[in-house]
Structure 1
Amino acid sequence: MKKASGRVSAYGTVDELNAVVGIARATKLDSLSEEVLSHVQVDLFTLGAELACVPGKEDKLGMTLLDETDAARLEKAIDEAEVGLAPLKHFVLPGGSPQAAALHLARTVCRRAEREVLSIERDDAPARNEVVIYLNRLSDLLFTLARRANKEAGVDDVPWIPRKR
């Protein structure tokens, strides 16, 4: 595989995402976030290995790939993390507490990873749909965990108020 291929870029971004999730975990998150993200880091290594594999040879990896149960686990974690959060009325600016800022950074890297995985379809054998769904759910989870981190730190989310004309 060429280093400039979309597939190499995608699994490199998944690796970067895993590192940023590690940074977020190093900021001392609450126990729910810590537990969920420890599983996410293992998932991201699995996902990266799949993307790095020659398409069609994934069975040679000798491991279970991500499937719909992994995305469902993220959905459940989103529901748990939302408990006690105020309903959103506006977009929120990334930041607040150091924990939330790190989680927002992870979210943006996750969104980029999702875009890059989707771009593989144009140049190469497409990634499995389960991979795309997982990354999509993960970005939502990271957003929710960022809001939770701000609440835990006693820091209000800052709403984005569009500029008036």
Structure 2
Amino acid sequence: MVVLSKIYTRTGDAGTTALGDGSRVPKTSPRVEAYGTVDEANATIGLARLHAAGDMDARLAAIQNDLFDLGADLCRPNMDKDGEAEYPPLRMVSGQVERLEAEIDAMNDALEPLRSFVLPGGSALSAHLHLCRTVTRRAERLCVDLAGEEDVNEAAVKYLNRLSDWFFVASRIANDDGRSDVLWVPGANR
């Protein structure tokens, strides 16, 4: 259970922040950049949800919750010491990745195959989902970069990779099942 009775602590005034294991790192560390960008992706989903309803809104809400799980995973380094922790760290699991894959497959079944690249746009929801996709791709790149230097849960990276694909397919669903997609016309303005 999280209890936040005081929002500011002044402990970060010198440019450091605490990780989930209590260690302090610069706020510009690759780990903080990675989970900070996951948080940014989550905020973009909040904007997208202003235009979503029904099943799409419920799926986006589930993803927002997953991204908090992912942030908790990323802020807890030293995976090899998980068994020594007073409280078991929250880690992403393959089931979360598999759920995204199943949702992607189900959404994609409603779509005609693409004959061109899609430009971000169309409906308001689709445009916001494209923003979610690009921020998620950045979060993934940062996690891959971090994994080159430190331990990162493999399921966390896989989740971000599938999530950006999820946003792409969902953006097409939000464009009248792809019928209102804005297609790229190569060289159209030469």
TM-score (norm 2): 0.78
Structure 1 segment 83-162 matched on structure 2, within 5 A: 83-123=109-149, 125-151=150-176, 156-162=180-186
Unpaired runs of 5+ residues, structure 2, are: 1-24
SS in 1 for 2:71: helix
Deviation at 1:100, TM superposition (A): 0.3
Structure 1 segment 41-52 matched on structure 2, within 5 A: 41-52=64-75
Deviation at 1:55, TM superposition (A): 2.4
Decide whether the 8 Å contact of 1:97 with 1:155 is kept in 2. Answer: no
User: Partners in 1 of 2:37 and 2:73 — Cα distance?
Assistant: 13
Aligned length in residues:
162
* Closer, same or farther: CA 73–31 of 1 in aligned 2, 3 Å: same
Greater helix fraction, Structure 1 or Structure 2? 1
C-alpha offsets along residues 73-114 of structure 1, whole Å, 9 cap, x if unaligned? 001111122232121111100011100000000000000000
SS in 2 for 1:33: helix
Decide whether the 8 Å contact of 2:72 with 2:90 is kept in 1. Answer: no
What amino acid does structure 2 have at the position aligned with 1:25? R
Deviation at 1:54, TM superposition (A): 3.0
Decide whether the 8 Å contact of 2:72 with 2:91 is kept in 1. Answer: no
User: Partners in 1 of 2:82 and 2:43 — Cα distance?
Assistant: 24
Considering Cα pairs closer than 8 Å and 6+ residues apart, tell me whether 1 or 2 has the greater RCO. Answer: 1
* Closer, same or farther: CA 134–149 of 1 in aligned 2, 3 Å: same
Greater strand fraction, Structure 1 or Structure 2? 2
Decide whether the 8 Å contact of 1:30 with 1:149 is kept in 2. Answer: no
Measured on the aligned residues, the alpha-carbon RMSD in Å equals 2.0
SS in 2 for 1:145: helix
TM-score (norm 1): 0.89
Identity of aligned residues (%): 44
User: Partners in 1 of 2:90 and 2:77 — Cα distance?
Assistant: 16
What amino acid does structure 1 have at the position aligned with 2:114? L
Between 84-93 and 60-69, the greater mean CA deviation after superposition:
60-69
